[in-house]
Amino acid sequence: MTTPPRAVSRSTKTALLLAGVAVIAAGCGSSGGGSQAAGSGGTATGTSGLTVPTAHLPVLQKIGKGEGQLNLIAWEGYLNPIWVKPFEKQTGCQVNAKYAGSSDEMVALMKNGGGGQYDMVSSSGDADLRILYAGDARPVNINLIPSWKDFFPAFKSPAFNTINGVHYGVSLQWGPNVLMYSRKDFSTPPTSWSVIYNPKYKGQVTVPDNPIQIADAALYLEKTKPSLGITDPYELTQPQFQAAVSLLASQRPLIEKYWSLASQEIFDFKNGNATLGAGWPYQVSSLKAAHFPIGDTIPAQGATGWADTWMLAAKAPHPNCAYMWMRYISTPKVQAEQAVNYGETPDNKLACGFMNQIQAGSCDQYHANAPLSYFHSIALWKTPLATCDNGKQDCVPYTQWVAAWNTQVK
Amino acid sequence: MAVTAEAGERTERGGVRLRVASALWRRPWARATLLLTPPLAWFILLYLAALVVLLITAFWQINPFTTSIVRTWTLSNFTTIFSSPAYRSVILRTVGMAAAVTVVDGIVAFPFAYYMARVASPRARTALFVAILLPLWASYLAKVYSWLLIFTHDGVLDWSLRHVGLSQVHLIYTNWAVFSVFCYIWLPFMIIPVYAALERIPNSQIEASQDLGAHTWRTLRSVVLPLALPGIVAGSIFTFSLTLGDYITPLLVGGTSANFIGNIIYTNIGIANNVPFAAAMAMVPIVIMAAYLLCARALGAFEAV
């Protein structure tokens, strides 16, 4: 009886080995998808008492000869060959892209001033202050970027990339998180976010799988329940925060899917899994391109949104190419190309005409000529901190947002 | 003269090699050290050290203002995990899912492997092997997405049910969908070890069992199953641990209640930047797997190995 078990064991070991190799192979094939998630934590936005370590660094006075290379950290879709190829041809600066899936990844890649490896990052408003207060971004001489003077005033020196008059990059584009609906199921467009909290649409709603979604609920409550006293959806006291979280918890039975990739939401609308949802203009333009009858609106209560900046790394190895890139990406035509392709709003007010040349009506569609009141209706992403803007310490920090999202909402 | 000198040099060089070789031959421990040091150093540095760092990080915290890690010892991450009913239910759900997937894969894999090992002709066996191994070459994501197309609203499954007059099931974004995809994806990892175990059972033992008057079921229970047990346990270790740690399938085909241990770790690292909490959460599947392996050993699964 001794031989057979030995034989079994040897073959079992071989099988274990074989299967182990297969496990590794299977693991290599998979990769986690990240969404353009709002980042977390960070240095206080209440800038009192904080100084930017790199504020004294000298700025470039004149753009010199290009270094031949430019290493950029970007959101996917931000380095489209449509506008990158002509830039490379014009300047001889070869663009090397590193795509990041979240604001946190961007902050991590920019650690130590970009490590002497990366030149710039296209970070969102919730990551910018963390990057610059960590001393990882360096001042930019805005006079070297002529198109900057054509920017909408709100994006010339916004608080998320300009501190005490010092610029740490140049604003890029921005956009709202819109209410999306299938025109097959909604003959009259919804005008309020209340539809995504309405039990009538059970099993048809899709919203982002992202704790920053609590701000969307808070924004809705700010307008519909004034007794809570919410003034900023990113600065919530404990009772305000709990009200937003319970609203989302009551919404959960209506949710068909919490989407974590833009492509998931596109899939769900196309296949009829969802008829209503919160999403980015990118999904809307993709669905329109696929001839799906999608509608999008910014409801009466307003919307949350994001604003991105090309920030210059403190140890950027190719500063001349970086300045050439900032100069190029700010010009109306390139701004228009990115706006139409990605589905966002350009910061350059002259981009409108170019947008309509690329795609008729796109200037209106992406709000490139909308009045200032439109801009004020968008609550741009910022990192929730324990310190409220009024200096009190009673706001709920982002770590608790994540915990509540995981334990009370989902 | 020159010729002799050259020959002497050659002997000299050969002599060094010979002396090293014989020294190593005389001292087996030196030979073993020389052979094992590089892989062992690799293992300790890259694998064990990473695990130790993970263990240590789990006892730290982050500063909620800056999300930088605060290096003071605390058990707060673990108290949060075990005192919060939500995290407890996530752990139970994950373990339940892993156990269910393992049991179903075992039930499906055993007859399949038995047929391959003991019934099928060599040609059919090769064909079955290819059928099992081929999906392993395809991307994990491609496989999960194809299931998404099967389960989706009026997708292949519901469309077929509608056309044969049955009611539709709407499996998309439910834990049933997650369960089905897990069972499909990890099945080969169960079949291969079970097959290897069954293949090596000598015919003589089965014949002896029959000669002694045992019926088919009795032979299966008393001879085949005990001898195949190490293979079944090996397979179950794969299916159980792979399900325990996966977060992509729940993310893609799961719905509102598809929150598993892996998803909690993913959100805490990827979005919240709370690495200590993610590390504490990652300790949970490690402890569960250790307990699982100890149970398997207590059941005698490794005695034959």
Residue B197 has a pLDDT of 92
> What's the average model confidence in pLDDT over B2-13?
57
Contact A271 B256 (CB under 8 A): no
Torsion sign across C-alpha atoms B123, B128, B132, B137:
positive
Exposed, middle or buried, B87 (CB in 10 Å: 0-12/13-18/19+)? Answer: buried
> What's the average model confidence in pLDDT over B3-27?
74
Contact B248 A32 (CB under 8 A): yes
Residues of B in contact with A397 (CB under 8 A): 64-65
Range of weakest confidence among A179-183, A279-283, B98-102, B203-207: A279-283
Q: How confident is residue B4, by pLDDT bands cut at 50, 70 and 90?
A: low
Residue-wise pLDDT for B102-139, tens only, equals 999 999 999 999 999 999 999 999 999 999 999 899 99
Q: Is the pLDDT of residue B3 over 60?
A: no
Q: Is the pLDDT of residue B305 over 70?
A: no
Contact B272 A40 (CB under 8 A): yes
Answer whether A274's CB lies under 8 Å from A265's CB: yes
Phi-psi region of B300 (alpha: psi -120 to 50; beta: other; left: phi over 0): left
Residues of B in contact with A31 (CB under 8 A): 141
Residues of A in contact with B305 (CB under 8 A): 9, 12-13
How many other CB atoms are there within 10 angstroms of residue A360's CB atom? 10
Residue-wise pLDDT for B173-184, tens only, equals 999 999 999 999
Residue A106 has a pLDDT of 85
- Alpha carbons B203 and B208: distance in angstroms, whole number: 8
Q: Is the pLDDT of residue A7 over 80?
A: no
Residue A111 has a pLDDT of 79
- Alpha carbons B305 and B300: distance in angstroms, whole number: 10
Q: Is the pLDDT of residue A176 over 80?
A: yes
Q: How confident is residue A20, by pLDDT bands cut at 50, 70 and 90?
A: very low
Nearest C-alpha in B relative to A410: B256
Q: Is the pLDDT of residue B34 over 60?
A: yes
Of A4, A32, A402, the CB nearest to B227: A4
**Centroid of chain to Cα A321:** 25
Whether B67 has its CB under 8 Å from any CB of chain A: the answer is yes
Exposed, middle or buried, A224 (CB in 10 Å: 0-12/13-18/19+)? Answer: middle
Average pLDDT, chain A: 85
Range of weakest confidence among A26-30, B62-66, B195-199: A26-30
> What's the average model confidence in pLDDT over A321-343?
94
Q: How confident is residue A388, by pLDDT bands cut at 50, 70 and 90?
A: confident
pTM comes to 0.76
Q: How confident is residue A38, by pLDDT bands cut at 50, 70 and 90?
A: very low
Q: How confident is residue B6, by pLDDT bands cut at 50, 70 and 90?
A: low
Tally C-beta pairs within 8 A across A and B: 176
Minimal Cα–Cα distance from A400 to chain B, Å? 9
Exposed, middle or buried, A112 (CB in 10 Å: 0-12/13-18/19+)? Answer: middle
Q: How confident is residue B280, by pLDDT bands cut at 50, 70 and 90?
A: very high
Structure tokens given for A262: 């833009």
Answer whether A32's CB lies under 8 Å from A115's CB: no
Phi/psi of residue B152, each to 5°? -65, 165
Residues of B in contact with A213 (CB under 8 A): none
Contact B270 A105 (CB under 8 A): yes
| Pairing verdict, β A303-312 and A169-176 | antiparallel
Residue A102 has a pLDDT of 72
Answer whether A222's CB lies under 8 Å from A273's CB: no
Nearest C-alpha in B relative to A16: B193
> What's the average model confidence in pLDDT over B249-267?
90
Contact A25 B148 (CB under 8 A): no
- Please report how many Cα atoms fall inside a 13 Å half-sphere around the Cα of residue B21, on the Cβ side: 6
Answer whether A140's CB lies under 8 Å from A312's CB: yes
Q: Report the first-to-last Cα separation within chain B, whole angstroms.
A: 63
Residue-wise pLDDT for A195-230, tens only, equals 999 999 999 999 998 888 999 999 999 999 999 999
Give B102 or B11, the one with higher predicted confidence: B102
Q: Find residues 2-61 of chain B whose CB sits inside 8 Å of chain A.
A: none
What is the widest separation between alpha-carbon atoms in chain B? 102
DSSP letters, A236-285, are -BHHHHHHHHHHHHHHGGGEEEEESSHHHHHHHHHTTS-SEEEE-HHHHH
